[in-house]
């Protein structure tokens, strides 16, 4: 089993006054031919947006886009007619498909918003644009893998158009978790907060890891950790 670490300090991005952003993979003006994505996972951005600031109306197509708000609130509008607020703990899924325009602005005039934005390549181009948003109970990921996005909407998850699954996992201090993996599947782990040991390798906040197909993964966290886990074809 091969594990490749993507250290937080080596990510792209920068500080722009209104935005602090970190790009795990090549994005916008940041280009690293060694990190163009992993399997269908194309973008994994870690963003802090200043109060009342954000991304104006802009287009996307042929991409599955997921936003996870960690702190604060994000105001969303799009060309499908949605005007929504995504709050901490909520997950949003957009299918850009044949084309969608949207804006994302910090809904607060006083507090920053922290979020992750994830792009996956869809199973095919030319899909009908779509939108979903849902709050997931934090208790469902306490020392357990909580499915939040999948190709079939299993366990109440949002549904995207790709053979991939996204789980959230919060390990309490001193707990261990064994991640069972289906044969031939690839895994991407992203540490959102805390520290975790993956088969003897320690990862801290912002670190990612690509894990090639193989056996189960043993995760240990002496001080607690919050993780995203991608199951990829």
pLDDT reported for residue 98: 98
Q: Is the pLDDT of residue 137 over 80?
A: yes
pLDDT at position 1 over 80 = no
Does 199 score more than 90 pLDDT? Answer: no
d(CA 194, CA 203) in angstroms, rounded, equals 9
**CATH classification of the domain holding 57:** 2.60.120.10
Instruction: State how many domains the chain has.
Output: 1
Contact 71, 77 (CB under 8 A): no
pLDDT in tens, 210-232: 999 999 999 999 999 999 999 99
Task: Please choose, from the candidates 10, 21, 14, 102, the residue with its C-alpha nearest in 3D space to the C-alpha of residue 63.
Answer: 102
φ/ψ region of 206 (left if φ > 0, alpha if ψ in -120 to 50, else beta) reads left
132 close to 92: Cβ distance less than 8 angstroms:
yes
The C-alpha atoms of residue 37 and residue 114 are separated, in whole angstroms, by 22
Q: 44 lies in which domain range? A: 3-232
Task: Identify the band that residue 118 occupies on the pLDDT scale cut at 50, 70 and 90.
Answer: very high
The whole model's pTM is what?
A: 0.97
Averaged pLDDT for residues 103-108 = 98
53 class by beta-carbon count within 10 Å (0-12 exposed, 13-18 middle, 19+ buried):
middle
Distance of CA 130 to the CA centre of its chain: 18
**Order of strands across the sheet that contains 100-106:** 54-60, 100-106, 73-78, 83-87
The secondary element (H helix, E strand) that includes residue 103 is strand 100-106
What gap in Å lies between CA 174 and CA 158, rounded to an integer?
31
Per residue, the 3-state secondary structure of 46-71, as one string, reads: EEEECCCCEEEEEEECCCEEEEEEEE
The pLDDT of residue 15 is 95
| pLDDT computed for residue 86 by the predictor | 98
Tokens 């901490």 label which residue?
A: 88
Closest CA to 173 of 196, 141, 207: 196
Q: What are the tokens at 92?
A: 């949003």
The predicted-structure confidence for 155-195, as pLDDT tens digits, reads as follows 999 999 999 999 999 999 999 999 999 999 999 999 999 99
Residue tagged 């599955």 (tokens):
64
Q: Give the whole-number percent of the chain exceeding pLDDT 70.
A: 100
Query: Please, which pLDDT band fits residue 101 given cuts at 50, 70 and 90?
Result: very high
- pLDDT at 71 (0 to 100): 98
What does the radius of gyration of the chain's CA atoms come to, in whole angstroms? 17
**pLDDT of 33-91, one tens digit each?**
999 999 999 999 999 999 999 999 999 999 999 999 999 999 999 999 999 999 999 99
């Amino acid at each position: 089993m091969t594990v490749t670490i993507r250290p937080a300090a080596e990510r792209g991005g920068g500080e722009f006054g209104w935005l602090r952003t970190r790009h795990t993979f090549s994005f916008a003006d940041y280009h690293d031919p060694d990190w163009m994505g992993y399997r269908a996972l194309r973008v994994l951005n870690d963003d802090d947006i200043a109060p009342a600031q954000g991304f104006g109306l802009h287009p996307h197509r042929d991409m599955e886009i997921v936003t996870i708000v960690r702190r604060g609130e994000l105001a969303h509008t799009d060309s499908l007619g949605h005007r929504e607020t995504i709050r901490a703990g909520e997950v949003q899924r957009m299918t850009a498909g044949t084309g969608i325009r949207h804006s994302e602005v910090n809904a607060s005039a006083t507090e920053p918003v922290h979020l992750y934005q994830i792009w996956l390549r869809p199973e095919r181009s030319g899909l009908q644009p779509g939108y979903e948003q849902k709050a997931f109970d934090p208790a469902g990921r306490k020392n357990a893998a909580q499915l939040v996005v999948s190709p079939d909407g299993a366990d109440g998850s949002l549904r995207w158009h790709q053979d991939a699954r996204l789980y959230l996992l919060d390990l309490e201090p001193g707990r261990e978790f064994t991640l069972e993996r289906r044969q031939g599947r690839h895994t991407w782990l992203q540490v959102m907060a805390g520290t975790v040991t993956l088969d003897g390798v320690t990862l801290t906040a912002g670190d990612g890891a690509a894990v090639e197909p193989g056996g189960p993964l043993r995760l240990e966290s002496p001080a607690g950790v919050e993780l995203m886990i991608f199951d990829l074809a």
